Amino acid sequence: MENYSFQIVEKYPNVTIIHHRTNDGAVWATSGRNILFKKSGGWQSYSRFPFCFPRDLFAFSRPSARAMRSDKCNLFVNSRGNVLGIRGSRVYAFLPDQPPKVLFTIQGDCVLHRSIAEDQNGWAYFGEYFMNPQRHPVHIWRVSPELDRWEVAYEFKANSIRHVHGIYLDPYEPAIFWVTVGDFSGESHLLCSDGTFKSVQQYGDGSQNWRAVNIFFTKDFICWLTDSNLEQNHAMRMNRKTGELEKGQEIDCSTWYGGCTREDLYVAFTTVERGPAIHSNLSTILISEDAFHWQEVFRFKKDFYRPVQLFKYGVISCPGGEMSLKELYLSGEGLIGMDGCSIQARIERKIE
């Protein structure tokens, strides 16, 4: 594989999280409670999440905001251009020239980044992500294109999983969703379903080999980098036809986020958390041509704030929607030079 270079093109110090990039090139983000978008030129204000007590009382400084998770939220812009938001356990509709409207509440504060998927009819799907120590039932929700109807699409029975990591539409079979769930022994699986979620096929033995957040799709394989703080992490792939699992190279840390780019290359980002499987204090940017063999192109070091469970792990995230190596938007937390801010970067092949 050829070598690649990484370059930061623009820095956005006041943009906390970049959430979504639409097909027309618009980028949607948040700065604290404020919702922003950028299509050409600078960032513009769109709306604002309502005040959330008590967390927003602590948004006055970055350390207190980290401790209280006051920046955590989601934005998803569907194919109709309607904006769905999640913050403080409430699901919102942000419609043009209207105040935010609360639709319903969910278990957990919000969901993981890049984990909301849209079916061919415009319905948006997301799964509940929360600590769930008592292993209550967990739901997958779906919301209509006009954000005026919603329902539980699927329920995981009590004591079956801890939470849902993400829902992803298969680009090779666009009527199929893949779902990642975790976290511990017997709870980590991949699930495959059509858009109705009336029929769900489960893969995996529940072990840490099947613990994934993001999925990378190829014609022949379903691929992932494991998300384990407990056991050595690896690149993994499952044969679509046979279901056979193959284990690849070792990865120093767990991996949460990533995706496929317009250039048909894959990017992934490791997370610095705590546990016997975390062997580095560096959050790395990885690139691959086949979503199974990976190389590092850049790294950010974990910052000094401790304990990490309180002041956040070292995380790089990327927005949902189309990605490009020429215009790669990233957000970070708990990293030197990448905490509570975002960047636009570029990855290029090195000229030998």
CATH number at residue 96: 2.130.10.10
Long-range contacts, 284-287 (Cβ 8 Å, 24+): 284/252, 284/253, 285/6, 285/316, 285/330, 285/347, 286/225, 286/251, 286/255, 286/258, 287/4, 287/347
Structural domain tally of the chain?
A: 1
Tell me which amino acid residue 27 is: V
What is the H or E stretch that residue 294 is in? strand 294-301
Give the separation between CA 352 and CA 349, rounded to whole angstroms: 9
**Do the beta carbons of residue 286 and residue 270 sit within 8 Å?**
yes
Q: 181 lies in which domain range?
A: 4-349
Q: What is the pTM of this model?
A: 0.96
Q: Give me the residue label for tokens 């991996």.
A: 255
Note down pLDDT in tens along the chain; length 352 residues: 468 999 999 999 999 999 999 999 999 999 999 999 999 889 999 999 999 999 999 999 999 999 999 999 999 999 999 999 999 999 999 998 899 999 999 999 999 999 999 999 999 999 999 999 999 999 999 999 999 999 999 999 999 999 999 999 999 999 999 999 999 999 999 999 998 899 999 999 999 999 999 999 999 999 999 999 999 999 999 999 999 999 999 999 999 999 999 999 999 999 999 999 999 999 999 999 999 999 999 999 999 999 998 999 999 999 999 999 999 999 999 999 999 999 999 999 987 6
Cross-strand bridge partners of residue 151: 142
Query: Would you call 214 exposed, middle or buried from its count of C-beta atoms within 10 A (0-12, 13-18, 19+)?
Result: buried
Tell me which amino acid residue 182 is: G
